């Protein structure tokens, strides 16, 4: 009789061990899946933030090139051109903030800061009507295009 009780207890322990092991494995798989989904969500947020940044970067550079073109023609700013440039700058700043909100990747954030400096310097190369430093416009423009490409590559590490 004692042998039957021991055998029954062993069978019960074995069954409970199997159930417990399956539960642990199931929990581990569920946790791994949650972590994978979270990483995927964070990656999607980063991609969206960088895409927004790239769009805003293009629009702000466009406004700076419009300023340069006007300065080459000897024209001063109009209220509309100033408004357009400030709106583009604000949108770019908001996009920069969006990248900061979703990552602490210091290399990426440094690249974003360099893009900001370049687009501002582009406008500074044409300080007044008839005063355009063509060599600086060419140099900074090329650096800004290279920075755009580098930021685009950040989407696909």
Element (H, E) at 155: none
Q: Which residues pair with 128 in a beta bridge?
A: 131
Low pLDDT (below 70) residues in the chain: 6-13, 15-16, 19-21, 24, 157
The pLDDT value given to residue 36: 86
Contact 85, 123 (CB under 8 A): yes
- Chain position carrying tokens 């074995």: 14
For the entire predicted model, the pTM comes to: 0.81
The pLDDT value given to residue 11: 67
Q: How does pLDDT run across 114-128, given as a tens digit for each residue? A: 999 999 999 999 999
The pLDDT value given to residue 115: 98
């Amino acid at each position: 009789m004692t042998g039957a009780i021991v055998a029954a207890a062993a069978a019960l322990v074995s069954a409970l061990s199997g159930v417990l092991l399956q539960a642990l494995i199931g929990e581990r798989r569920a946790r791994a899946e949650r972590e994978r989904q979270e990483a995927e969500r964070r990656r999607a947020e980063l991609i969206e933030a960088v895409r927004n940044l790239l769009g805003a970067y293009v629009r702000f550079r466009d406004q700076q090139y419009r300023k340069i073109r006007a300065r080459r023609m000897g024209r001063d700013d109009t209220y509309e051109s100033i408004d357009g440039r400030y709106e583009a700058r604000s949108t770019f700043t908001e996009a920069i903030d969006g990248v900061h909100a979703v990552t602490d990747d210091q290399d990426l954030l440094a690249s974003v800061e360099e893009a900001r400096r370049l687009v501002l310097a582009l406008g500074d190369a044409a300080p007044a009507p008839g005063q355009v430093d063509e060599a600086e416009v060419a140099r900074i423009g090329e650096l800004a295009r290279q920075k755009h490409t580098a930021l685009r590559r950040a989407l696909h590490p």
